[in-house]
Amino acid sequence: MHQSENPITLKAKKISKSLSEVKATSDNVEFIILPYYNSLEAIPKKEKLFFDLNNFISQTDKNATIAILASPILANDFCAQLKHDIHLKLWITVKLEKPIEHKNYLTEQHGTLLILTRYKKSLQHTKTRIAYTYCPCCDKTAKDYGGKKHLYHEFGTLMSDVWRDITVDFENYPSELINRLCDLFGLPQYKHLNVYDQREFYKPTNKKHSFIQFSQTENYYSAKSKLLNGDCIEQLKTIPDHSIDFCFADPPYNLNKKYESWDDEIDIKKYFEWCDQWLSELARVLKPGRTLAVLNIPQWCVRHFKHLNTILDYQDWIVWEGLSMPVRMIMPSHYSVLCFSKGKPKNLPAIERETNSILENKAIETYKENFCIRPNCISKRKRLKIKDNEFVSNVWYDIHRLKHNSRRVDHPCQLPPMFMYRLISLFTNEGEFVLDPFNGAGTTTLTAQQLNRKYVGIELSEYYHDITTQRHKELNSGLDPFRKINDGKPKAKNSRVERLKKQKYEVSKKVLQLEIKTISIQIGHIPTKDEVTQYSKFPIEYFENYFISWGEVTAAARTTGMTENRVNGNGTYHIAEQQLRLFEEQRIKYKKIAV
C-alpha cells in the first residue's frame, strides 16, 4: 500500500500495438511491459526489440517519463545500449509474485522496473510513502523504530527503489504496479499512463544459453593467505590462472568519496576502462565454474555487465536493500551484487554442503519477510515453535549498514560483516580461496578467516593495509575485529554531514524536537531560531549545539509521529487476522500432537 501527496492520478490507457507501430508524442507517462527472460538467448529478435525500444523512447516528448518492466538480464543488456538522449533515473526492484526456484542455486525473487526520462534534470514525481508492514507474530511494525517514532510519518516511510510491499506476476496484467505509477507520476504535466503490453509480440524462445568453454584445469596458488599492498592490477598479474575459488570486488564508486589513496572523481570513461582491466584479471584468476561478484550501484553495474558478458557467463543479480543516506524523495536502497561465472556454474556450495558451521548457518538463513527482530518476539516464536526462518533468495533485506562510529574503523566505506559472511558462505567451502582486490580495512579477509577460508586481500593504500594487518593480528590473538570500540571516532567519513563533537546532553534530543513541535502547533508554522528563543523553556544553545542542522531540530514538527502498534480506522489497536491465523495454526498443531 502507498500514499502519494496530492497526486493528480493518471488514467491508465491500454494500447494494443507493438512498439514499432506506435509513436508517442503527447505529454504522457509511457509504461512498457516485457516478458521475464531468463537469458539473452531467450529474447526473440533481440536487436529488433532494442531498436524498437530506443526508437520509441527517442520519439517521446522531451518531458516524458518511460517505465519498463523486465527481467534483470534484459534490463542490463538494454541499458548498456541506451541512446545518449535517454537517461536512466532509477532501477527499481519489484518482488515477483511467483519466485523462480532453482534446485542448485538462489531463488530468483525480483523483476526490474526501469525508470527512464528524456530530460536530464532530477526525476519529477509525487512524494510517496509506503505503508508500514507488521510482524505476523507480535503485530508490531516489522522494523523497531526505538526512540525515533516521533520523527516518522503515521502512514509509513518514504518510498525507496526496492519495492517489496507489492508483487508483480509476469503472466498477468500488473494492476497493482500500474496503480502505483499512476499516483507516483500524477503531476500536472501528464495526462495518461499509456500501457504497452509487449508480451504477445516478444514471447520468449526455447533457446538455451550456451556457456563459454574454459579449460577445466585448476592451478595451485598458495598454502597460506596473503595481504598484498600495491596496485590491484599489478598484484593480480602475479596470481596464476584458474587458481581462486571466489572473487569479490567492491570498487570505488567514482562518487567523490574520500578514500586515502584514490581519486574517486576521475573521468568516467577512464574509470570504466580501469574497471575493465581489473575485471579481466579477476576473470583470468578465477577457477572454472566459480563466481565473480561485483558490488556497485545499479547504473554502474550495467557497465560492468557490458564488459563481463563478453568474457564470462551471467549468473545472477543479487539485490542488497542497503538503505543509505536519504538524498532524494525516492530513497536509494538498491545496491547490486552482479554475479558472473566462469563457464557453467558449479552447484552453490551452501546448498551442496551436508553440514554448516554455526556462522555459516546464521549467514545463509534469514528471517521470513516481516518477522521482526525484537528479542521478546523472537523468544515467543521459539516458544511457540513458529518457523520464522528460511534459506536466502537473491533479495537481501535483512543486512543493515554500519551506522555507529563505535563499529567503524578509519575507512569511509565499510561493509557490514554479515554481508561478507553471507557471500563467502554461499559461494565457497572451508579451505577455499577468497580474493578481494579492494580490501580496504579488511572486512572481506577478516570474515574469510573467521569462516576458515583462505584469502588474498589487495589494497593500494599502505595506511589501510596496515589497519587490516593489525586487525588480523587481533583476530589471531582471540579478539573480535568487529567488536564495539569506544576509543574515539574514526577520521574517515562516508557522508558530507559534519559530525557533532562529543558532549554531555542536558536534555535529550527527542525532548527538544518535541518542544519544537509544540511551539510549531502554537504559532502555526515551523519556528525560526528567534521564535524558539522567545517561546522555548530551553536555552537556544541546546538546539544549536546538539543537532547537525536546523532541519534536524525541526524534524518532528514536519511530520506526524507514528506508533509501532497496528491501528485500525478508529486509531485503536487490534490483532491482525494474520496473527490470529498464525496462532490458530499452532493451536491445531498442538492439538494433533496431544491426540
Superfamily assignment of 226-351+394-476 in CATH?
Vaccinia Virus protein VP39 (3.40.50.150)
SS3 annotation, 173-241:
CCHHHHHHHHHHCCCCCCCEEEEEECCCCCCCCCCCCCCCCCCCCCCCCCCCCEEEECCHHHHHCCCCC
Q: Is the pLDDT of residue 571 over 50?
A: no
Task: Tell me the mean pLDDT in the region 58-76.
Answer: 94
The H or E element spanning position 545 is helix 540-545
Q: Is the pLDDT of residue 367 over 90?
A: yes
What does CATH list as the number for 2-197?
A: 3.40.50.150
* 144-153 per-position pLDDT tens digit: 999 999 999 9
* 434-444 per-position pLDDT tens digit: 999 999 999 99
Q: What is the mean pLDDT of the chain?
A: 89
Q: How far apart are CA 365 and CA 348, in angstroms?
A: 14
Per DSSP bridges, beta strands 192-197 and 11-14 are: parallel
The backbone region for 139, taken as left when phi is positive above 0, alpha when psi lies in -120 to 50, beta otherwise, is left
Q: What percent of the chain has pLDDT over 70?
A: 88
Q: Is the pLDDT of residue 586 over 70?
A: no
3-class secondary structure, 112: strand
* 101-119 per-position pLDDT tens digit: 999 999 999 999 999 999 9
Same topology for domains 2-197 and 226-351+394-476, yes or no? yes
Task: Tell me the mean pLDDT in the region 55-76.
Answer: 94
* 222-279 per-position pLDDT tens digit: 999 999 999 999 999 999 999 999 999 999 876 544 434 434 455 788 899 999 999 9
3-class secondary structure, 365: strand
Under 8 Å between Cβ of 182 and 11: yes
- More reliable by pLDDT, 407 or 449: 449
Under 8 Å between Cβ of 119 and 133: no
Q: Cell digits for 365?
A: 538463513
| Weakest mean pLDDT among 122-136, 326-340, 381-395 | 326-340
* 385-431 per-position pLDDT tens digit: 999 999 999 999 999 987 655 555 755 678 999 999 999 999 999 99
- For residue 446, CA distances in Å to 209, 440, 451 come to 37, 11, 9
Under 8 Å between Cβ of 113 and 84: no
The backbone region for 127, taken as left when phi is positive above 0, alpha when psi lies in -120 to 50, beta otherwise, is beta
State the pLDDT at residue 328: 78
Domain edges within the chain? 2-197, 226-351+394-476, 509-558
